[in-house]
Structure 1
Amino acid sequence: MPLARRFDTIWFGSDEAAKAQRMSLVAFAIRVGSAGLAFLSQVVMARWTGSHEYGIYVFVWTAVLMLSDFSCLGFSTVVIRFLPQYVKDGDIDRLRGLLLGSRLFSLLFSSVFAAIAIAAVWLLREQMEAYYRVPFILIFTSIPMVALGGVLEGAARAQSWPVRALAPTYIIRPLMVLGYMATAHALGYEANAITAVISAVLATYTTTILQLLVMTHDLDGMFPGGPRRTEYGVWIKYAVPVLLVESFFVLLTNADIMMVGIYLPPSDVAVYFATVKTLALVHFVFFAVRAGVAPQFASLAGAKDREALRSFARRSANWTFFPSLAMALAVLAGGHLLLSMFGAEFSEGYPLLFILVIGVVLRSGVGPAESLLNMTGHQNICAGIFGAALAINIALNLMLIPTYGLLGAAYASAIAIGTEALLLVLVVYRRVGVLMFVLAPQLKEPAA
């Protein structure tokens, strides 16, 4: 049977395409489970706390996820970039140095970053709403663990271990948040934003420590102890532009939530976040494919097999677009029902889905183009693309939210993401030589 043979090729193949597809399939399965789990956990949290308290919780949690990308200084991507290269070159001394150095550096840097963030909240406490002060201080204590978890995820992705990479963050942590929240509820604590934040902090520490123990055991078994060689200068030189790319990407995908939180009350933040979380059922396709292909981009780029890299990159766009389109249609069809699960007031977010989904589908059509640019040495211009899209997003939010409220935030997000997709298509074609858009014909490589 052709389908069975295709599955065997993917599951047991040893070439780069098979490895990437295998990683993407497992990542996709985890993302499917995690998307459903995250959605249901957010429904439970919203039902327990109410829209006002839930809005406070998701606002501060979004802030910590955004800051955590800065706090590890891009070392989660450094591991993905250099670990496959060191393995391929047999450079075990540098590999050992990278595995230990990336963890220590991210933990130290993120701890300092967290202390600065907490101090900033204290100094600016009179300028923010009283109900945000304690939740912000509490949630910022989790920054070091989120940063370390990102580095551990990067190491697992570099080894093509999708379960070790994705399960802690996307399966185990949400379950633990619910578990801690349910325990607090059973012990008689009030179901409010502070209880939810404490549950999230405890879940983050528990998950990251468990992930660290598992990854240390597995990697020590593959690469026994010995001399270590660190190259912080090389790593940081690569990390800083990539940090800008990753940070701009995270800011771009969350800026609308933060802007809504600045301009509108927590109940509106809750509605907008629930709408975005519903749309995450579409997003996970893109993230699953990106998790699978980034190490293969790095490997092909290191081998200098330009034609194979271009062919593989173009195929990756197909892997993101068609599943994303199918999921988008399904979410639009059932969106009203899905939002009503959060509570009756959340149904007002349904019209926003039709606006937001346009940007998501357009973005899926260019595939993991930013990963291709990062892994082929074009991280600087990639950072510029995300910076431009972020600037457009913030400017449009500033103009539209005060007048149009949540609709303004949705329009700003869709336009910014569409602009980002267009810029990525143009730059990837000029720099890598592949027209990375699913509906476009294959063109010849442009002249240098």
Structure 2
Amino acid sequence: MLVTVVLRYSGIALQFVILLVLARHLDTDDYGRYMLVLSAVLPTYSLLGLGVSETFVRDAPKVVHRGDLRPAAPLVGATVSVAVGNAVVIAVLGGLLVWLMPSGVTVTVVAFMVAFFIANGLMFNGAQLLLGCGFQGMGAFFFYPAVNVSLALSAIPYVIFVSHPTFGGVAVATSVASLLVAALPLAMVLRRARPRWPTFDTIRRMIRVGIRLSTARALYGLGLWLPTFIAGVVVAPAQAGYLGTAGRLAVAVGAVTAAVRFAIRPTIVRAAEQGDRGAIKSICGRLATITLGIAGAALVASALFGRQLIEVTFGHDFAAAATLLTILLVAVAIEAFAGPVDEVLKMTGHENWVLTIFCTMLPVMLVALLVAARHGVIVMAWVQVGYTLAVFGAMIAVVRWKWGIWLHPTVSGLLTRRALAEQAG
């Protein structure tokens, strides 16, 4: 798990450097268009495989024993077939759409969205396959820093060494590099697992189960990125740049929760199969304590020094992002309170409740954002705080109802470990 957290933060650090360089070399509108593409792709790319890889992560640990991947070969085959097949279909449809559209900036935005969606979707499915096969370290690498490594080696040199970098140039460099890197995890899985051609019933079952998990993941991401997307479409690209930058910085603070959410899924599955509610409550409580402490410290630091730090790093043009960052860190603290509560529901067969909560709250958030857009991005950021409180409060209530446990920060496990260490000493 420590490796996963380290890889998550390395990905965040790389992303920070990438955004910093792009913000200083592109004009504010082009940078805002870049954030607009991210806001459309990053919440939705998990849908490329129709959730089959989500089912794989849940089912593979049950059949893979002592590194023997042969029992999981049909599951691997189904996941690869669906992901690659959908990537081809989307590439063809996206190409036709771009060909039919009149030339202009919008065409470049759409083409970039399609290519980046396919690259991230393939990389996500490859990472999930590696995780389910027991290669947590490699899975975490391709899930977190891999795509940012490709951008650091392509988009960054482009904007630094080209005298007048443009959004179109960044789009081409990013698309080519990310697509090349996306092929690597799939190649690794094909070499190690030697997948078998799946039956139609296997694919249908995996889609039926996984599409709900994948949709829940996408809806979660939409909650994070929808304000940026609305700002870019309704307000102005530059405002989307400010809000998106603040959102990315806030995500860096919540990276521990996000990394653990990825790595902890097999542990939750095993605890649920044993009916060990205490284990679920304990691990979630300890993680919530750590993540809430980090979020609280970051919130105080942002309120006191955020403006100065952002002006020094991103430049005076991005000073408006400082207030947005402080507001969004309130949302991060709220999410940290319950730890990976959404994964508890999804990995214990209650993914429909996650979907219900998201599907209920997101339309409300959309309407609130459209109204708030008239008053500026600061009000839109507060809408996201309210949305986060409603969503995760509802999930905590459902876990209490279904499992009879309250998920909240706790120090009992941490104190017990410390006491045992002192006795051993």
The TM tier, using the shorter chain, reads 0.7 to 0.9
- 1:260 aligned to 228, 231, 244, which one? 231
Residue 178 (structure 1) aligned with residue 152 (structure 2): yes
Distance 1:106 1:396 in 2: 35
Identity across aligned pairs (percent)? 20
Equivalent pair of 1:310/1:433 in contact (CA under 8 Å): no
Aligned pairs (5 A) from 1:16-27:
23=1, 25-27=2-4
The one-letter amino acid paired with 2:360 is A
Aligned pairs (5 A) from 1:227-266:
231-266=202-237
Residue 145 (structure 1) aligned with residue 119 (structure 2): yes
Partner of 1:54: 31
Residue 205 (structure 1) aligned with residue 179 (structure 2): yes
Residue 413 (structure 1) aligned with residue 390 (structure 2): no
Distance 2:135 2:152 in 1: 26
Aligned pairs (5 A) from 1:293-304:
293-304=264-275
1:391-440 deviations in Å (ceiling 9; x for gaps): 222121011112x1111210111110111111011011101221012269
Partner of 1:34: 11
The count of corresponding residues between Structure 1 and Structure 2 is 411
Distance 1:394 1:113 in 2: 26
- Deviation of residue 139 (structure 1)? 3.2
Equivalent pair of 1:66/1:251 in contact (CA under 8 Å): yes
The one-letter amino acid paired with 1:82 is D
Partner of 1:131: 105
Distance 2:239 2:8 in 1: 27
- 2:360 aligned to 388, 399, 404, which one? 388
- 1:141 match: secondary structure: helix
Distance 2:70 2:188 in 1: 22
1:366-397 deviations in Å (ceiling 9; x for gaps): 11111110110000011111222212221210
- Deviation of residue 130 (structure 1)? 4.3
Distance verdict in 2 for CA 1:374–1:269, change over 3 Å? same
Aligned pairs (5 A) from 1:279-318:
279-318=250-289
Instruction: Name whichever of 317-326 and 44-53 sits farther off.
Output: 317-326
- 1:191 match: secondary structure: coil
1:165-220 deviations in Å (ceiling 9; x for gaps): 23234323223213222444577474111111112111211211222233444x33
1:294-325 deviations in Å (ceiling 9; x for gaps): 12112222344444344434444334322333
Distance verdict in 2 for CA 1:67–1:227, change over 3 Å? closer
- Deviation of residue 114 (structure 1)? 4.4
- Deviation of residue 357 (structure 1)? 1.3
Distance 1:255 1:305 in 2: 37
Instruction: Name whichever of 294-303 and 197-206 sits farther off.
Output: 294-303
Distance verdict in 2 for CA 1:432–1:51, change over 3 Å? same
Distance verdict in 2 for CA 1:121–1:69, change over 3 Å? farther
The one-letter amino acid paired with 1:85 is K
The one-letter amino acid paired with 2:146 is I
Distance 2:161 2:325 in 1: 38
Residue 432 (structure 1) aligned with residue 409 (structure 2): no
Distance verdict in 2 for CA 1:174–1:354, change over 3 Å? same
Partner of 1:401: 373
Instruction: Name whichever of 99-108 and 80-89 sits farther off.
Output: 80-89
Distance 1:137 1:325 in 2: 40
- 1:75 aligned to 45, 52, 75, which one? 52
Residue 109 (structure 1) aligned with residue 86 (structure 2): yes
- Deviation of residue 73 (structure 1)? 1.0
Equivalent pair of 2:112/2:172 in contact (CA under 8 Å): yes
- 2:242 match: secondary structure: helix
- Deviation of residue 350 (structure 1)? 1.3
Aligned pairs (5 A) from 1:216-231:
216-217=190-191, 219-220=192-193, 231=202
Task: Give the alignment's TM-score, normalised by structure 1.
Answer: 0.83
Residue 43 (structure 1) aligned with residue 15 (structure 2): no
Q: CA RMSD in A?
A: 2.8
Distance 1:300 1:164 in 2: 24
Instruction: Name whichever of 260-269 and 432-441 sits farther off.
Output: 432-441
Equivalent pair of 2:119/2:175 in contact (CA under 8 Å): no
Distance verdict in 2 for CA 1:199–1:233, change over 3 Å? same
The one-letter amino acid paired with 1:231 is T
Partner of 2:318: 346
Equivalent pair of 1:107/1:144 in contact (CA under 8 Å): no
The one-letter amino acid paired with 1:170 is Y
Partner of 2:339: 367
Distance 2:28 2:198 in 1: 51
Equivalent pair of 2:22/2:156 in contact (CA under 8 Å): no
The one-letter amino acid paired with 1:289 is V
Residue 84 (structure 1) aligned with residue 56 (structure 2): no
The one-letter amino acid paired with 2:145 is I
Task: Give the alignment's TM-score, normalised by structure 2.
Answer: 0.87
Which structure 1 residue ranges, 5 or more long, are not aligned? 1-22, 443-448
- 1:275 aligned to 235, 246, 257, which one? 246
Which structure 2 residue ranges, 5 or more long, are not aligned? 414-425
